[in-house]
Structure 1
Amino acid sequence: MAMTKEENELLTRVENGAPMGEMIRQHYWLPAVPASKLEADGAPVRVRLLGKNYVAFRATDGSVGVLDEQCPHRRASLALAGNGENGLRCIYHGWKLNVKGEVVEAPNHTGNQEGFCSKVRVNRYTTVDRGGIVWVWLGQGEKAPPFPELPFIDLPADQRSVTSVEVPTNWVQAVEASMDSSHVGVLHESTTQITAGGGNERMLMAKALAPKLEFEDRPYGYRYAALRALPDDQVYARVNNFVMPWYGLICPPDANGPTTVFFSTPVDDVTHRAWFVQFNPKRPLGMTIMSASPDVWNFPPLPPGDAKDNWGQNRDLMRRGHKTGFPQHLGTEDFAMFISQGPIYDRSEEQLCSADGAVMRVRALLLRAAREFIDGKTPALADNPQLDYRAIRSVGGVIATGANWRTLADQ
């Protein structure tokens, strides 16, 4: 059943007090910037989250902070601030703020400096540097929500990689795609061929384009198996996990390959930041299509054109056998689809099929959380006492027809 226009608005909007945005702000940590993007005493990085502007910086002692972009004095941008001696100093009048968001100096004020600074109204945000990402909690109160202790968070740096890019569409379009198993064998067929090498089980997805989906609810969201029938009474099973509010944990391409975590966070109503984390809990990650990122703040590449030239699609390459005409990257293919849908696409006009069950569950969980928040409740999946991010595991493999895919997932 198609969504109503009212449901679509509730699902997608995050700005100007929209319930979804306020729910996320209060009950979830947001990735702000790749940790490697911040240098001690280096330039602050402008970050936009949920329709508001911030700056992230690394202080002299290595600690990190996220502040409102505008200086609390005369509202000049702190993206222009000097960074040194464990704080940002506004270049307009010299006010200085530390990583906690406290004003510690106001050199143009006469009288009791310490007393004056302590009374300046500022928003203070809890910030941590873990898993190669600087995270921020933008909510109010003393108690932050549970931190997403996903399986890559405490791995050594050489066993994980982080990259991200800003995409000019609403965030939900990308979150849905992370749980859309049936698009992989179509949209990414050529990319998978190019990157497969020997033994990459993902090539099996192109041989069975209509997977059977089976679901299990979990304290963090759900896991599901996409089951593809193969010859010789075999089934290719891919067991992936959706973790509220935006994480898609995707199984490795083979037993020794990396797991990928896709998450798409709302910059504003019509822009999101796509994050890609790859990790291998068994060994160093090495070079992959994600770890080879030349710019962790701007990779994978967006499509090279706009709607006037079909977003730069290469039809000559398609005539030679490439399935999409976007050879730049797997991510580029996804971005082209999102952008072609429009800034916020109207789900009341779509016509769904049996392959869309995981997408519908993403929407249902997000809408339930927003409605719980509207009712004054903590969303059930935001602070579940059984929540254990570390135990989440996505796997793939070939099993016998009739075998229980859970044995593959739980071994």
Structure 2
Amino acid sequence: MAISREDNELLTRTDHGAPLGEMLRQHYWIPVVPSAALEPGGAPILTRLTGIEYVVYRAGNGKIGIVDKMCPHRGASMALAMNEHDGLRCIFHGWKFSVDDDSRLIEAPNHGGNEEQFCKSIRSPRYRAHEAGGIVWAWFGQGEPPVFPDLPFTYLPEAHRFVTSTLVQCNWLQGVEATMDTTHAGALHQSFTALVSGNNERANLSKSSKPKFEFEDTPYGFRYAAVRTLPGGNQYARVNNFVMPWYGIITAPEPDGPSTVFFSVPVDDNTHRAWFVHFNLHAPLGVTQFTISPDVMNFPPLPLGDERSNWGQNRSLMKRGYFSGFPQHFATEDFAIFLSQGPQLDRSKENLCSSDMAVIRVRQLILKSVREFMAGEAPTMARGATLQYKNIVSFGGLFPADKSWRSLLEHRDLPGILATQK
């Protein structure tokens, strides 16, 4: 069932006061940059979120500051500013803004009157910053901030998680939907999976392309079991979680192994930043396909070239058995698909099938939230009293044909809400 063009607009547009963008800014903490990208006293980073440009920096005292790109004096870019011990100083006329949450003007050396009084008269937008899980997050709303999404990776020691991100030239929803599309893993990623998985459970993805789905609604979104019947009679389930508005928490390929959280954050209507948090609740990560990242702001790698060159797809390699033709990384395979869909996919032309049920649910939840916001209400799934982010975990495994996937909970040390369902 395709959606209407009107609903597609609601789901994708974030710029110029679009309802979705305003909802995200008011009701959610938004990931801005990986913590590792910010050096104390180092260069500020220009970033764009929901179509609006900001500058984020780590002052010499270690605090994080977020300000509008343009200095409120004469509009110079604060990305050029001097990063000092306790704030950011515009190099045009020397105006200095505090690194604290109020971002107040604290010096205006070219003002000839009462400088202290003048500084008090200049109002600067107040953007809250929070650092957790190797990410700098921001809240751009009014009033009291929402509950912070303290997902399992946010409280882990640094050795247990690694964060990377990259900029992708297409709409955010194309990335989010892929995190909940389990059957594409057995097709698009089949060669990459065969190379890196060996005998771990992820190899079962390519053994059955028609899983059965079971869904459970949760206060934060939903979780679903994709159950595959394997040759020999056993079943394999992957139980993944979708957390509003963009988090896909994906099951680890083996018990007690590393898991991944994928999320795609809108930069503007036609661009998003793809985030990857690789983490292990049970042990340090060590060397993985993510921890080898040379640049946390530009990894995994984008495909090479453009549409005229099929983004550098290697047809020679495909003839030798590598299915997708994009061997760089499994995320590179995803990026090639997203880019091939165009800057903004027209979902009114789709022909969906039974395996798209999780994607449909993602769209339904986002539409429901946007419509609640447009009606002047706080979205149901952004109401903090019911949210227990740290209890969310995804899991998978093999089980006999006469059992339910819930039998996988019987011998697992799972936190909070899942442990109560054993």
Aligned AA for 1:75?
G
Provide the residue aligned with 1:124 in structure 2: 126
Provide the residue aligned with 2:113 in structure 1: 111
Please report how far the alpha carbon of residue 334 of structure 1 lies from its aligned counterpart in structure 2 after TM superposition.
Answer: 0.2
| Residue-by-residue CA offset, 1:318-369 (whole Å, 9 max, x unaligned) | 0001000001111100000000000001000000000000000000000000
Alignment partner of 2:380: what SS? coil
Provide the residue aligned with 2:49 in structure 1: 49
Provide the residue aligned with 1:148 in structure 2: 149
Q: 5 Å matches for 1:7-406?
A: 7-99=7-99, 100=101, 101-141=103-143, 143-197=144-198, 199-406=199-406
Alignment partner of 2:150: what SS? coil
Please report how far the alpha carbon of residue 406 of structure 1 lies from its aligned counterpart in structure 2 after TM superposition.
Answer: 2.4
Alignment partner of 2:94: what SS? coil
Please report how far the alpha carbon of residue 405 of structure 1 lies from its aligned counterpart in structure 2 after TM superposition.
Answer: 1.4
Please report how far the alpha carbon of residue 384 of structure 1 lies from its aligned counterpart in structure 2 after TM superposition.
Answer: 4.5
| Residue-by-residue CA offset, 1:22-41 (whole Å, 9 max, x unaligned) | 00010000000000100110
Give the distance between the partners of 2:85 and 2:295, measured in 1 at CA: 28
Give the distance between the partners of 2:112 and 2:383, measured in 1 at CA: 47
Whether the aligned pair in 1 keeps the contact of 2:147 and 2:384 (CA below 8 Å) is no
| Residue-by-residue CA offset, 1:112-146 (whole Å, 9 max, x unaligned) | 211111111211100011110000001112x1001
Aligned AA for 1:289?
Q
Aligned AA for 2:131?
D
Please report how far the alpha carbon of residue 385 of structure 1 lies from its aligned counterpart in structure 2 after TM superposition.
Answer: 2.0
Whether the aligned pair in 1 keeps the contact of 2:146 and 2:384 (CA below 8 Å) is no
Please report how far the alpha carbon of residue 194 of structure 1 lies from its aligned counterpart in structure 2 after TM superposition.
Answer: 1.4
Please report how far the alpha carbon of residue 231 of structure 1 lies from its aligned counterpart in structure 2 after TM superposition.
Answer: 2.5
Give the distance between the partners of 1:316 and 1:176, measured in 2 at CA: 30
RMSD (CA atoms): 0.9
Alignment partner of 2:31: what SS? strand
Whether the aligned pair in 2 keeps the contact of 1:160 and 1:285 (CA below 8 Å) is yes
Whether the aligned pair in 1 keeps the contact of 2:215 and 2:223 (CA below 8 Å) is yes
Please report how far the alpha carbon of residue 60 of structure 1 lies from its aligned counterpart in structure 2 after TM superposition.
Answer: 1.4
Whether the aligned pair in 1 keeps the contact of 2:265 and 2:272 (CA below 8 Å) is yes
Alignment partner of 2:46: what SS? strand
Give the distance between the partners of 1:223 and 1:112, measured in 2 at CA: 59
| Residue-by-residue CA offset, 1:201-251 (whole Å, 9 max, x unaligned) | 111110101111110000000000000001332110000000000000000
- The count of corresponding residues between Structure 1 and Structure 2 is 409
Aligned AA for 1:188?
H
Please, what TM-score do these two structures have when normalized by structure 2? 0.96
Alignment partner of 1:223: what SS? strand
Percentage of identical aligned residues: 57
Q: In 2 relative to 1, CA 407–114 (structure 1 residues): closer, same or farther, beyond 3 Å?
A: farther
Whether the aligned pair in 2 keeps the contact of 1:103 and 1:120 (CA below 8 Å) is yes
Whether the aligned pair in 2 keeps the contact of 1:219 and 1:384 (CA below 8 Å) is no
Please report how far the alpha carbon of residue 110 of structure 1 lies from its aligned counterpart in structure 2 after TM superposition.
Answer: 1.4
Alignment partner of 2:245: what SS? coil
Whether the aligned pair in 1 keeps the contact of 2:152 and 2:389 (CA below 8 Å) is yes
Aligned AA for 1:162?
V
Alignment partner of 1:210: what SS? coil
Give the distance between the partners of 1:20 and 1:228, measured in 2 at CA: 35
Question: Any unmatched runs of 5+ in structure 1?
Answer: none
Give the distance between the partners of 1:65 and 1:401, measured in 2 at CA: 54
Whether the aligned pair in 1 keeps the contact of 2:264 and 2:273 (CA below 8 Å) is yes
